[in-house]
Every structure is written in C-alpha cells, then in structure tokens.
Amino acid sequence: MTKSISLFAFDAENGDCLLLINNETQFSILIDSGPKSSSVTERIFNNIRAIIGNKAIDLAIVTHNDDDHIGGFKRLLKKGLMIKSYIFNHHDVINKILVNSRNKKVSIRQDIELEKVIKDKVVSLELTTSGYFNSVNYDVFNITFRSPNKDRLEDYSKWLEKEKKRKNIKVSSGDTSLSIAEHIEESNSDDNFSEDKRAPNGSSLALDISFFDYRVLLLGDAYPSTVINSYKNEKSYPIKYDLVKISHHGSSKNTNNKLLNLFDCDNYLICSNANNKHNHPSPTTLFRLKNLNCNNIYLTKNSIKVDELEHKTGLTFTRPKCDYLEFEYGF
C-alpha cells in the first residue's frame, strides 16, 4: 500500500465535504457532506465510491447542523454509503454534555432526522477543564478540537430553545456593498472586524488533525475568537500547519488578522462556489490571506463565478481539475 495520507476537498457547491484517507491502512474520515441537493450528493457519492470503492467510511465527523454541512448525509446513506461511527455534536448530545439531567427535544429537523439514523454509532465527547472537547485518536490521526468550547455550547443551547418558537430567520447577506478598495482597507487591520454571532456556527467543530510530521486545521464554520482562545497555552508561535481550511466558506466575519497571525502556513483552502447569496468568499478574507504572502489559495469550485472573483480581486486561485482537490502527504 502507498505510504501517504490523502485529503480530498470535494466540490460541494456552497458547502463543505472533505475526505481524509490513510492510503496504507485504508482508514477513512469523512468530514461533513455538503448540502441536501440531490445533484451535489450524487456527484459526491460517485467520487467517494471512485476513491474507496465499496468500503465503509470508518469515521464521519458532522461539524454542525447547517444544511451545507449536514444536508447530504441522509442521501449518502440512502445511496448505500456505509459509515461505521460518527462524531456529531447534535442538539441532544450538547444538552447532555452541558447538563446531564437535561433531555429536552428540540425540533431542528435535519439534526433530529440524522441523529435518529445514526444514534447507536455516535462517539461520546467530553468537555475538559479547559472548556473544550477532549482530543481523540483514530488510526494515525490525532484530533484536537479548537471549537466549540463550553460557552459556545451554552449559547447554542439557548438558541435552540428560541428556535423552537421562530421560523424564517434571516441571515445577513455579507459585505457585498463594499468596493474592492474598501475590502483591501478592511483587510489591513482588525479595527472594524465584526465577528459572526450565529449560534450554530459558534457550535461548529474545528479540527486540528496531526499525523506523522503533518498538521492540518479544518475550521468548519467556527468563530475566530473561540479558535484563538484554544491556543492560549501554546508555548511558541506561529504554529506550523501544512493546510488550513478557512472558516465559514471565507466569510469576513469568521477570519481576522489575529487568527491568521497564529499560523505559519502556505496553503489555505476555501470551500465555496463563489455563487451564493452570502457573498462567500469575502474579498476582505482573500486580501487578509494575500497580506500574509501565502503561496496558495485553493477554492473547491472551477466556474465562471470563480473567474469573475479572480478578475475582481486580481488574485489567482488553485481550483479542481475534476470534482475535487487532492492534497497528498507522504511518510
């Protein structure tokens, strides 16, 4: 068998779907599933089959309950994808973690539907004294959780209670009104930075995965402040990463200079099709990366919209030649 680790970042349109494989042992980790769209799920399913054949996924990690991360799982399972175990901080698990005696049912539809299907396969996580989940080990992979922490889980639990009584919550459409010059100016400092406040994003798992001499950081939709706080006991900075997947599809509210300055990394990945109402990725985020003089910015879509984004910003992105990007790490 090949002595390497492969990370596949699938074209999931406006969503996230990544697959991590130890090519020597064939151990596989699927991280999120993209949106509920049947065409997107069909494409992702076919690509997973082409990569691993009829083998089961050893571990699936569901970072949080937004459709663009969780939506495809039920369709993938119905199509015959087998998954042995899950890490999934769904609503009931969160409540039990926060208050062991609490067992309230909250109607977050996709969260509940997926939990019913997989409930016997969910791995239990525990909060440590730091307020973050305990690290876990699978095959050669050590996974440290940079988000959420107890405060973000408490916020999410309160949000769930309110969500029961509300419908059609509107989400900000991002920073589309800014000119390129204004995006560049915003990228130069954090003076006007406004952090994401949406509770489901704050509950997102952010995964710091190390294997052999490599380290990748997959930020889900996490808040930057939560991730930054998780590094407070590190002995030295910056921290070397081989790849960082930027949070929340490149939203301007989930990446600031304080976060990026923690990292020594040449490769940044953004899961986005540059064609959605939330204006992801934000040019402000892209210019923050440019200011780092990073060598490579990867986007998971190859389309006219990405062409337009390159023309608009003057930046160049590495894009998939087929339906996914592949990063390979030899050992």
Question: Burial, 150: exposed, middle or buried (Cβ in 10 Å; 0-12, 13-18, 19+)?
Answer: middle
Structure confidence by residue, pLDDT tens digits, 276-323: 667 799 999 999 999 998 879 999 999 999 999 999 999 999 999 999
Grouping H, G, I as helix, E, B as strand and the rest as coil, residue 70 is helix
Q: Where in the chain does DSSP place strands (E)?
A: 4-10, 18-22, 28-31, 57-62, 83-88, 136-138, 141-147, 206-211, 214-218, 239-240, 243-245, 263-264, 267-270, 296-299, 324-330
pTM for the complete prediction? Answer: 0.90
Structural domain that includes position 256 = 4-330
* Other C-beta atoms lying within 10 Å of the C-beta of residue 258: 12
C-alpha to C-alpha distances, 227 to 104, 230, 258, 264, nearest whole angstrom = 28, 5, 11, 15
Residue 234 CA to residue 236 CA, distance in Å, equals: 6
Per-residue pLDDT of 32-60, as tens digits, reads 999 999 999 999 999 999 999 999 999 99
pLDDT tens for the chain, 331 residues long, are: 689 999 999 999 999 999 999 999 999 999 999 999 999 999 999 999 999 999 999 999 999 888 888 889 989 999 999 999 999 877 666 766 665 423 433 335 555 566 666 667 888 888 999 999 999 999 999 999 999 999 999 999 888 888 767 655 444 445 656 888 889 999 999 999 999 999 999 999 999 999 999 999 999 999 999 999 999 999 999 999 999 999 999 999 999 999 999 999 999 999 999 986 677 999 999 999 999 988 799 999 999 999 999 999 999 999 999 999 999 999 9
Instruction: Determine if residue 30 is left, alpha or beta; phi over 0 gives left, psi from -120 to 50 gives alpha, anything else beta.
Output: beta
The residue among 13, 69, 103, 55 whose CA lies nearest residue 300 is 13
Number of domains in the chain: 1
- Reported in sequence order, the residue ranges of 175-289 that DSSP labels E, i.e. its strands, are 206-211, 214-218, 239-240, 243-245, 263-264, 267-270
Q: What is the CATH number of the domain that holds 71?
A: 3.60.15.10
* First-to-final CA distance of the chain: 12
Cβ-contact 60, 18 below 8 angstroms? no
- In the numeric block, which tokens belong to residue 108? 């977050």
